[in-house]
Amino acid sequence: MFLYLLVYVAYHSSRWLPRTQRFKFQIVNAVFILVVLIPQIYIMARPKSSRYCSQPLLVNLSASVVLSFIASGFSLLFTLIDPLPQSLWASFHVFGLLSCGHGLCTSVLTLTAAECVKSTPELYYMSVALTVASAVSAGFLLLRGGLWLSNMRPVAQTG
């Protein structure tokens, strides 16, 4: 859910700016994408990360990198296109489901990989960081969704 939340925040933050000033936001967006991607790629490329671990944390991290690239594409599109086509919104929400599933998998793998802290510490701590980020993001999005549902007005019944 962490990557879904990042795109969501990028979209809503860019809408506060006039269209003519969104280029500056694109630069900030690119820097933020690099801040998210570089540590993941660095840890994935380290020789220590390929050591034996009972859980497939390296495979999970590579899935996270792929999802991070997809999220960067969404954040770029969402800040450039105005108005957004319905099909792009739909694909973004499918990405959100994938991101949620990845967050759940990361959480389960991290909770069951306590012995990996000795063999692959950087990989394990990156997995812990992704788990915490995913849990915080899920909590925020659940709170946001609950507030959205509470503000919906009931449909008037005719009869």
Token representation of residue 45: 């490329």
Is the residue at 7 inside a domain?
A: yes
Q: 102 in a domain, yes or no?
A: yes
Expressed as residue numbers, the domain containing 128 is: 2-142
**Is residue 71 in some structural domain?**
yes
Q: Tens digit of pLDDT for each residue in 70-86?
A: 999 999 888 888 888 99
Q: Is residue 124 part of a domain?
A: yes
The first and second tokens of residue 147, run together, are 């507030």
> Which amino acid makes up residue 32?
F
> Greatest CA span in the chain, whole angstroms?
70
| 149 located within any domain | no
Amino acid sitting at position 49:
S
Rounded Cα gap, residues 74 and 8, in angstroms: 9
| Torsion sign (Cα): 3, 39, 32, 62 | negative
Report residue 137: phi and psi, to 5°: -65, -45
Is residue 159 over pLDDT 60? no
Q: How far apart are the first and last CA of the chain?
A: 42
Alpha helical stretches, state H, 15-156: 22-45, 57-80, 86-111, 116-119, 121-150
pLDDT of residue 157: 62
Q: Over the stretch 83-123, which tens digit does the pLDDT of each residue have? A: 889 999 999 999 999 999 999 999 999 999 988 888 888 99
Q: How many CB atoms lie within 10 A of CB 114?
A: 11
64 belongs to a structural domain: yes
Could you tell me if residue 59 is inside a domain?
Answer: yes
**Measured distance CA(146)–CA(19) in Å, rounded:** 31
Whole-angstrom Cα distance, residue 52 to residue 54? 7
Q: How many domains does the chain have?
A: 1
The fraction of the chain above a pLDDT of 90, given in percent, is 44
Domain assignment of residue 152, yes or no: no
Q: Does residue 68 or residue 46 have the better pLDDT? A: 68
pTM for the model stands at 0.85
Q: Which of 50-54, 90-94, 96-100, 132-136 is least confident? A: 50-54
Which pLDDT band holds residue 38 (cuts at 50, 70, 90)? very high
- CA 15 to chain CA centroid, Å, is 20
Contact 109, 61 (CB under 8 A): no
**Which pLDDT belongs to residue 135?**
94
